[in-house]
Amino acid sequence: MAPPKKGFKGFGEWDPTPRPKEPTSVAKEGTNPTPAPAKQQSSRQSSRRGSNPTTSRQLPPNQKPQFPKLERAQPPRILAQGPGAPREPLRPPVPKQKYSNIVLEERPSTTLTTAQKVKRVRGIYWITGIGVYALSSYGVYLYIQYGKAIKLNEENEKQYKLGMKSRPEVDTNQVYENISGKYDSNVRWSEFFMGMSLLRRWMMWGLKGDILEASAGTGRNNSYYPVRNCKSITMVDNSPNMLIIAKNDFESRYPRYGHISFAPQDASQPIKSPSGEGFDQVIQTMGLCSQKCPIETLRNLEQHCKPGGKILLLEHGRSHYEWLNNILDAYVLDHARNWGCFWNRDIGGLLEESGLVVTKISRFHLGTTWLIEASPRPRKQDQIAQPGSESK
């Protein structure tokens, strides 16, 4: 079988069957050429119009028609320039440009040189060393504070027993009035690194109905309120200056929410509810540490919560570990004078003495942070009157 000639366009125009030579007759002068037979002309026309060349030629039964092989184009290979030259790595093909006005830049190679690898390893060593140094320094600081705390506790207890020194009292309300303007800026970063925002968000997640927030402070829970599910919100705090800050912040966040009231009072006093039947859910964050009578506060919150409601508390107090409790005991007065907070109170003991039905307790930060879910004790039908209707 002969290969196709130049200018070959396709197998449809190629007829592999040999054609007989047409008889040619030399025309003499004054005579017409003899026409070809009619049978040969009809066979040529039928083959040109659409006859299949493979069917026109008789092939043996076990033989297949042969066609010329077409070779596929191979991708170019990058060869070394010399016998000792390093071979360059193959780069991925650059995609075709769809738009002529956009020029595609070649991506830099991801392979690192020896110097770059050494630099990266040095950076990892530096970061690890700084972390180890910071942890060890913090451990040494805690050890020193622990030693000082033990000595200070022993001296204070001796003076208290001998009557040489009386236990000082700190007016937490006055402390909060003084630090209300700078309170948020001072505790923002400490709460961020401790993850307090996540705990606040978790506590506020499923609020609905009439809500009472005791010890609202400057409104650090305002950004987590699901106001669409809250029928009404009542905020209570001892510090009027802090409550004003909370009010301004809440109104700026939810300007269209009008079912909220603010009461500058102690949470242990009777509180009025919008419906007159109490609140569906009661929340408090960092309130027991600053209350003068924390047990009375818990009992009052229980009386203001409807039967079947929930009481959610986020507090801080004593730890799992005695060495940390010694540090809290030693510096509790300094912390109370600066922040109005007695951070060494036994939250578990206060809950047990108050009589609340505690359903869940989660503790974080070495046990110093308490996340509590409780409910009021079942009471008779005649006791479900408005708690604030009677005077103290």
49-100 per-position pLDDT tens digit:
444 544 445 656 666 666 666 666 665 555 555 555 566 666 666 666 566 6
Q: Is residue 152 part of a domain?
A: yes
- Residues 318 and 183 grouped into a single domain: yes
- Kindly report the CATH number assigned to the domain that includes residue 307: 3.40.50.150
pLDDT for residue 13: 52
Tell me which amino acid residue 156 is. N
**pLDDT tops 50 at residue 47:** no
- Give the pairing of strands 279-285 and 305-316: parallel
Q: Of 233, 286, 212, 224, which is closest to residue 253 (Cα–Cα)? A: 224
To which H or E segment does residue 63 belong? Answer: none
Distance in angstroms (rounded) separating the CA atoms of residues 258 and 254: 9
- pLDDT 10s digits, 206-235: 999 999 999 999 999 999 999 999 999 999
Q: What are 117's two structure tokens?
A: 């690898």
Q: Is residue 148 part of a domain?
A: yes
- Residues 321 and 349 grouped into a single domain: yes
Chain-centroid distance, C-alpha 144: 37
pLDDT for residue 25: 47
Last residue of a domain, one of 146, 167, 188: 167
pLDDT for residue 344: 92
Domain ranges, residue 154: 118-167
Q: What are 350's two structure tokens?
A: 């206060």
Alpha-carbon dihedral angle through residues 10, 13, 17, 23, given to the nearest 10 degrees? -140
Q: Is residue 39 part of a domain?
A: no
Class of residue 298 by CB neighbours under 10 A (exposed 0-12, middle 13-18, buried 19+) = buried
- pLDDT 10s digits, 327-347: 898 888 888 888 999 999 999
- Residues 226 and 372 grouped into a single domain: yes
Of 41-55, 271-285, 340-354, 373-387, where does mean pLDDT reach its minimum?
A: 41-55
pLDDT for residue 330: 84
Alpha-carbon dihedral angle through residues 304, 310, 314, 318, given to the nearest 10 degrees? 90
pLDDT for residue 138: 80
Distance in angstroms (rounded) separating the CA atoms of residues 131 and 249: 38
Q: Is residue 110 part of a domain?
A: no
- Residues 148 and 283 grouped into a single domain: no
- 371 bridge partner residues: 314, 362
State if pTM tops 0.85. Answer: no
Q: Is residue 48 part of a domain?
A: no
- Residues 145 and 205 grouped into a single domain: no
Q: Is residue 33 part of a domain?
A: no
Q: What are 157's two structure tokens?
A: 């207890």
Q: What are 262's two structure tokens?
A: 């603010």
- Residues 176 and 252 grouped into a single domain: yes
- pLDDT 10s digits, 130-186: 989 988 888 888 778 778 777 877 787 777 777 776 766 788 889 999 999 999 999
- Residues 233 and 305 grouped into a single domain: yes
**pLDDT tops 90 at residue 299:** yes
pLDDT for residue 306: 93
- Give the pairing of strands 369-375 and 357-364: antiparallel
- Residues 283 and 351 grouped into a single domain: yes
Q: Is residue 15 part of a domain?
A: no
Q: Is residue 366 part of a domain?
A: yes
- Residues 309 and 220 grouped into a single domain: yes
- Residues 314 and 244 grouped into a single domain: yes
pLDDT for residue 104: 56
**pLDDT tops 50 at residue 27:** no
- Residues 163 and 181 grouped into a single domain: no
Last residue of a domain, one of 140, 167, 194: 167
Last residue of a domain, one of 149, 167, 185: 167
Domains in the chain, number: 2
**pLDDT tops 80 at residue 376:** yes
- Residues 292 and 308 grouped into a single domain: yes
CB 164 within 8 A of CB 328: no
